[in-house]
Structure 1
Amino acid sequence: MPASEPSWWYGPDGGWQTSLLSPVGALVGGIASRRIANANPYHSSLPVICAGNFTAGGSGKTPLALFLAKLVAEEGREPWFLSRGYGGKLEGPVRVIPARQTARDVGDEPLLLARSAPAVVSRDRRKGAEAIEAMASKQAVIIMDDGLQNPALAKDLVIALVDQRRGFGNGLVIPAGPLRAPLDIQGKLAHLIVLTGQGPADPALLQTLKAISTAPVITAETRADGDVARFRNRKVIAFAGIANPERFFSTLGSLGADIVARKAFADHHMFSEAEARDLLETAERAGASLVTTEKDLARLAGTTGVRATLRERAETIVIRTAIEDGDLEILRRLVRGAIVR
């Protein structure tokens, strides 16, 4: 089961954990830097767009990948998703068929992506790209959900998402901090940086981005979509096993829901029968509805017993990426440039 994100990654004082793990983080960062510098990537015959981030955890990659698929389709091209399939047992390459597979097979994110466009899971990104080349038409465009630091596959457009509220935490590399590689190395990989979250960007964060990258910076919001009015003044039990559950809880609260309990689990968490029973009983005692994320509901697909009951009773909030005005035009221009072959 994936571990929860350490709170001290983003705390004001990392304490003894940071001091203890800093040498390990420096070693991991050095290995990642050499891997990127010595890369001999495969150049696909199809355009490749990557939506990734500099840090571990969620920053809205999957909603952005879905948004990119929409833009690609509007340009008359055929979007195909490529994912590592984190949390799934299949190494791939394998095409995702939601009616036949579960999150234990391919991971939760690919199941969501495959609802909108064809998706392939592959631990080896080169093999995944080659599989898409074999299955798709010449009008296809590969959209990678994550993989910014993976040097195995050359990318025509790299988009790095940054949560403007959390930034880069303590600025250290895993496991000492949230960074996947040294920030100055990662910054050079990005062609576009997308700030996610509400409100104005922190000037200090913008200064850091300017120092590590020459890429343009735009902003995006993740918004609840669909019939959100149904949550207003309703008593709910909110549960989520994602990288940043507080974002989900905050979104639900902003819709006017009366959140009587918040249940946070590790990212990509597979719910047990006991946990499902506890959630159902808590909701029954409180006279409240159960609300979760689309990813969490995807992980409950194909389950039986109490977990199947939880899936039937839980409602979800649909989250969509919104990019507007001049920022949208910047993104469109870069997408058009990337897919021209």
Structure 2
Amino acid sequence: MRAPDFWRADGMSPRLLSPLGALYGAVAARRLRRDARRAALPTIVIGGLTAGGDGKTPVAIALAQMLAANGDTPALLTRGYARGAGVSCESFAVDPAIHGVEAAGDEALLLARHALTIVGPDRAASAERARALGATVLILDDGFHSRRLSADLSLLVVDAGYGAGNGRCLPAGPLRAPLEAQFAAADAIVLIGRDAAGLAVTAGCGKPIFQARVNPDRQIAENLKGARVVAFGGIGRPGKFFQTLKETGADIVVARNFPDHHRFSGADIASLAALRERYGARLITTEKDAMRLRGTALPFGVLPIRLVFEQADEPWTTLAEALERARLRVS
């Protein structure tokens, strides 16, 4: 889906939808308070403040890399959103050489490039599969609001450029639950960027805030400097990608938005190829979009990004303490 513009500011549409938003928010807040079963491994759960685009996936990858660098074997657990219809409900480890977007989903394919990744709607079964495959810690990149597994550490991701949008819950606004309920359920906040919207939303939340930023791949960014590009993306907030691309010094002659998790049709591919020829430009997209374009004849490039914590020792200290408590619990 593509987020409606009225989610950014209050107005007639949000006010008309506010009763539905209040109902949705009440149900979501109650779900955040419910108990969940514990896995046999330490469990880190990541959530996004709003309905897509906050940056959960880069945070999950950064934590997996941090854990691996310190001797752990992390497993990333995901339900495999936007998989094809009729796929198996049994949990499985993603192998990008075997599985495609129909079987695993685009996010799972991207995650599997960085760590063991298990796809399945049953989080408990996925946790057991991960343990059997040698994992020592679990990371759920979409389990904060569903509460299928209890967390030893819950992180809530906030995109500083977007904040809480108009501050209302779905469908009147972008929030997946009321602000207060989400902050209460989180152990810490990951704030990506330093824009005023995010700083205002998190001020006074009463939780530790880990400041982070997104950096593009340095070598690829250098190669894009001055290049004419047709930028396109089917992610939660493609404008963020376009801005990052612009900051490399690339000359964006056309920017094409697609809905999140968009499956590119033959017509889409032909249209993008025609834009490339018309402007004599390079096609550049995101890593997640590239997962959905595998196997096509479209000549495109990718600008990878990496999440960096500004003070890496702060999240690592919190993470290490949570792991120690969890291992005492399961020992």
Cα distance in 2 for residues equivalent to 1:181 and 1:32: 5
Q: CA deviation at 1:323?
A: 1.1
Matched residue, 2:28: 32
Amino acid in structure 2 at the alignment position of 1:218: F
Matched residue, 1:222: 214
SS of residue matched to 2:39: coil
Cα distance in 2 for residues equivalent to 1:203 and 1:333: 23
Cα distance in 1 for residues equivalent to 2:27 and 2:208: 28
The 1:42/1:206 distance shift into structure 2, 3 A limit, reads closer
Matched residue, 1:19: 15
Cα distance in 2 for residues equivalent to 1:29 and 1:199: 26
Amino acid in structure 1 at the alignment position of 2:308: A
Cα distance in 1 for residues equivalent to 2:66 and 2:23: 39
- How many residues align? The count is 321
Residue in structure 2 matching 1:334, options 318, 322, 326: 318
SS of residue matched to 1:309: coil
Cα distance in 2 for residues equivalent to 1:223 and 1:152: 32
1:1-341 to 2 correspondence within 5 Å?
A: 3-11=1-9, 13-15=10-12, 17-37=13-33, 39-89=34-84, 90=87, 91-137=89-135, 140-198=136-194, 204-207=200-203, 210=204, 213-227=205-219, 228-301=221-294, 303=295, 308-310=296-298, 313-324=299-310, 327-340=311-324, 341=327
Amino acid in structure 2 at the alignment position of 1:4: R
Q: Is contact 1:42-1:154 (8 Å) kept? A: yes
Amino acid in structure 2 at the alignment position of 1:320: R
The 1:235/1:198 distance shift into structure 2, 3 A limit, reads farther
Cα distance in 1 for residues equivalent to 2:172 and 2:118: 32
Q: CA deviation at 1:200?
A: 6.5
Query: Please, what is the CA RMSD of the aligned residues?
Result: 1.6
Q: Is contact 1:79-1:142 (8 Å) kept? A: yes
Identity %: 40
The structure 1 segments of at least 4 consecutive aligned residues displaced by more than 3 Å after TM superposition are 89-92, 198-203
Per-residue deviation, residues 47-85 of structure 1 (Å, max 9, x unmatched): 111222121111221111111011111221101100121
Cα distance in 2 for residues equivalent to 1:92 and 1:226: 39
SS of residue matched to 2:97: coil
Per-residue deviation, residues 85-119 of structure 1 (Å, max 9, x unmatched): 11013434121111111112211111011111110
Q: Is contact 2:32-2:182 (8 Å) kept? A: no
Q: Is contact 1:226-1:318 (8 Å) kept? A: no
Q: CA deviation at 1:198?
A: 4.6
Per-residue deviation, residues 202-258 of structure 1 (Å, max 9, x unmatched): 653243xx2xx4320121000101411111111110000000100111111111111
Cα distance in 2 for residues equivalent to 1:60 and 1:21: 26
SS of residue matched to 2:232: strand
Cα distance in 2 for residues equivalent to 1:29 and 1:204: 21
Q: CA deviation at 1:201?
A: 6.9
Cα distance in 2 for residues equivalent to 1:35 and 1:226: 42
Cα distance in 2 for residues equivalent to 1:41 and 1:247: 34
Per-residue deviation, residues 179-208 of structure 1 (Å, max 9, x unmatched): 11111111111111111125577653243x
SS of residue matched to 2:75: strand
